[in-house]
Amino acid sequence: MISTISSGPTVAGMSNRSMKQYVRVAQFPQVFGIEVNRHQEVPKVHWEPITFCEEEEEGVLYPYGDPMIIRAEIADYDVGRVLIDTGSSVSVIFAEAFREMGINDNQVNRQLTPLLSFSGDLVQPIGSVKLPITFGTAPRKTTTYDQFLIVDCPTAYNVIVGRTTLTRVKAHLSPHMLLMKFPTPNGTGAIRGNQLSARTCYATALKATSFKLPDEIMSVQGLPNGTGPVDDPRDESPTPYTQSAEEMETVTLSDEQPDRQVRIGTRLTADLRTQFINFLRHHSEVFAWSYEDMPSIAPGVISHKLSISPRL
């Protein structure tokens, strides 16, 4: 799953020169702003103020950490599981959804650079395609065209709408209300994020992720005095640990020192059990029964170097 996406075809361009120019415009807007406006004849669109009010919280399940998942019309298809992602510099349509649309491959541009995720992973898109996307419902809806990168990788989403598309429709987002508003010729349009869809996508993404939560959590115990037996910290830990595959029995290895005990399985035959216990008793001094039995460790096994000045 691509979380935060950069690179790809954006207003910054693809060359090093165009990207440096893009940065300089932000550094010196008074100088470069005049030149930009002079060469880009973008018509001025007047729109009414967009506001959010407390009453619009109604219907949202609080508290939550859900992403904004909406439905949108893309190339005359009603598409669900559309993620609004202000962390993505480009818009993405995933390969499975793209194939379902049946769009002609002749419209696909195959010459693209890889995408860079927040973890530094590179993902090579299949290509890009220019598609119309419509937000809202009549009469308050807005449509824009944008380049969608086609990416083939496991995901819970059909489409990711990035900053470029959101900027073109002048989208105003309220994550608190899961609400997106935008100007239209007929007034302010609005679209609400679907929390059920968001949580379904989240569950799907977790199932597809190939990681496993650790079974144990390390905890800090009291300092030992060096004389008592080595305790198992899991005995008092609320974290469950792996259980034995069979019933266990406790065996004392020394009559003089009854605290020296081990546990063995109960499925051993009588002869094997006797041999095993005799073996353990014969080699009982090999075990570390207390901290005093571990005075040092050979440097050839493990060593630790303190990175401090020897003069301190």
- How does pLDDT run across 87-104, given as a tens digit for each residue? 888 899 999 999 999 898
pLDDT of residue 84: 96
Query: For 233-262, what is the mean pLDDT?
Result: 74
pLDDT of residue 17: 64
Are 21 and 33 in contact, with CB atoms under 8 Å apart?
A: no
Query: For 200-222, what is the mean pLDDT?
Result: 60
pLDDT of residue 266: 86
Residue 4 predicted with pLDDT over 80 = no
pLDDT of residue 229: 52
Q: Angle 29-39/16-27 helices, nearest 10 degrees?
A: 120
pLDDT of residue 3: 41
Are 205 and 1 in contact, with CB atoms under 8 Å apart?
A: yes
Distance (Å, whole) CA 151 – CA 94: 5
Residue 42 predicted with pLDDT over 50 = no
pLDDT of residue 87: 87
Please report how many Cα atoms fall inside a 13 Å half-sphere around the Cα of residue 185, on the Cβ side.
Answer: 4
Distance (Å, whole) CA 123 – CA 227: 57
Percent of the chain with pLDDT over 90: 37
Output the pTM of the full model: 0.56
Closest CA to 19 of 9, 29, 28: 9
pLDDT of residue 123: 78
Residue 277 predicted with pLDDT over 80 = yes
Burial class (CB in 10 A: 0-12, 13-18, 19+), 294: exposed
